[in-house]
A and B are shown apart, each in its own frame.
Chain A
Amino acid sequence: MTTTFAPLPTTASASGSVASTTTESIVFAPTPLQAYLMRLGDTCLIHAQRLAEWSGHAPILEEDIALTNLALDLVGQARALLTHVGQQTGFDEDQLAFLRNERDFRNVTLVELPGRRAGRDFADAVVRNFLLAAWMNVLWARLESSSDAEIAAIAGKAIKESRYHVAHAADWVVRLGDGTDESTRRTRQAVDRQWPYTAELFETDDIDTAAAEAGLGPTRVSLKAEWDAIVAPVFAEAGLSIPATGAFRSTGSRGVHSEHMGYLLAEMQTLQRTFPGGQW
């Protein structure tokens, strides 16, 4: 468990040639089935990155611990998925996480939306956490019967963790939504800000169709009814109404991200790109 970093990159080597100060990105060209798995892996990874921003900043200590614990589960799930795809494509999990360009990430846009540092509310974190936990819960349950045995095994573990995530997030949605006038107002605002991005969770494209045909996993549209069944009663108890879904469609799962993604990746990748191959 020693930390080994290569020496700091220098701008000029002894021979006089100029070396880059950042590591070059990998060229990653996944098949549709690999892209399907990366969507989930990247969604776990970027969601974890945003949740971890609350470390040391949550409203109460217990929630600080809870959010970072959730992030830890999500990082573990991401690692398993990235490792699995990496074994098929010749990369390790660190290369996939830290050396891909923005366009090669396939997380849904909802997870990359700014959190605490952009002045967003704790209510945003709570609402997003619940909407995503419910989605992942439905998805993991379906992936337990994946034709890929490793994915089924990863899902068998993750589904158990996701139940705790949903339960915890639902508690908070009700606590804030059905809380004080102030907490209710701010939670409703958070729902209004985030709801437009939930449409992407249920879009289906060629990648989804390929995965469904191969028995690898479900199409996203097929998750909607079960997701509604989890979200609706909790929203009702929280006194929150479900907004109408408009025409806006976010496109992170196709690699076209919001303006926030570049900043997120800059922070997430800087250590590995500055110290190539650094290991804990």
Chain B
Amino acid sequence: MNVRDTAASPRVAQAWRVLHDVLDPEVPAISVTDLGIVRDVVEQGDALEVVVTPTYSGCPATEVIAQSISDAIVAAGLGPARVTQRRAPAWTTDWITPEGREKLRAYGIAPPGSCAFDSPSEGRTRGLASSPSGGSDGRSEGAVHRVRLMARNVDCPRCGSAQTERLSAFGSTACKSLYRCIACREPFEFFKPI
């Protein structure tokens, strides 16, 4: 999905390197390219257009991210930057790079697993309107479990144990939930697959 052009001009290639160091203000361990939200960098005469896909509809960091990107491009002497939004296709945590996942883990945030709902129609069927038996997570429990989107086996980012439990569906930001490790007793955050 990443539209990084292998035959990009030196200026565009340099812009991608600069963006690799622009951090997400809410999770300052990973960059905007680690997150997979930068979809394209295009030369527009003097200016560089950086195309960004927002993470959540209401993410309060959206404006800060756009400003940070613009500032970094200008500071690197690559000219004025114009940050534009591209909504479709919608961002998914599947676009977080392997490097980004490792950075999250090292920062103490369990990275998301592969998104089970990458196909909207399939996801909807599996998540909310499936047959009476069988949950979206494979368990055959009641109706409520069919609409539950709890990830299974979230490994503790500190000790690696799979013996963890969810404390809260929502954490300090909309993109994370709160977990606790039963083995090492440490609380941690989990980046929700979406």
Contacts and interface: CB of A to CB of B under 8 A. Distances in A.
A171 B63 contact: no
B88 A171 contact: no
A227 to B, nearest CB: 10
A66 interface: yes
B23 interface: no
Contacts of B168: 62, 65-66
Interface in B128-165: 128-129, 132, 142-144, 146-150
Q: How large is the interface on A (under 10, 10 to 19, 20 to 34, 35 or more residues)?
A: 35 or more
Given A174-B144, A230-B128, A156 B87 contact: yes
Contact of A76 (B58, B120, B192): B58
A157 B90 contact: yes
Q: How large is the interface on B (under 10, 10 to 19, 20 to 34, 35 or more residues)?
A: 35 or more
A25 B30 CA distance: 44
B54 interface: yes
A72 to B, nearest CB: 4
Interface string B79-94: 0000000011111100
Contacts of B67: 1
A76 B90 CA distance: 14
A242 interface: no
A164 B169 contact: yes
A152 B87 CA distance: 9
A149 B92 CA distance: 19
A170 B127 CA distance: 13
B47 interface: no
Contacts of B64: 1
A75 B147 contact: no
Interface stretch (B14-22, B98-106, B170-178): B170-178
B88 A80 contact: no
B28 interface: no
A225 B89 CA distance: 28
15 contacts: A1-B64, A62-B167, A66-B168, A72-B174, A75-B58, A76-B58, A79-B57, A141-B120, A153-B90, A156-B89, A158-B57, A160-B194, A170-B147, A171-B144, A230-B128
Given A73-B56, A154-B87, 9 more contacts: A72-B58, A76-B58, A79-B57, A137-B128, A159-B124, A160-B117, A233-B132, A233-B142, A237-B143
Interface of A: 1, 62, 65-66, 69-70, 72-77, 79-80, 137, 141, 144, 149-150, 152-154, 156-161, 163-164, 166-168, 170-171, 174, 226, 229-230, 233-234, 236-237
* Pairs A-B, 10 closest by C-beta atoms: A76-B58, A76-B57, A233-B143, A153-B87, A62-B168, A153-B88, A72-B58, A66-B170, A156-B90, A157-B90
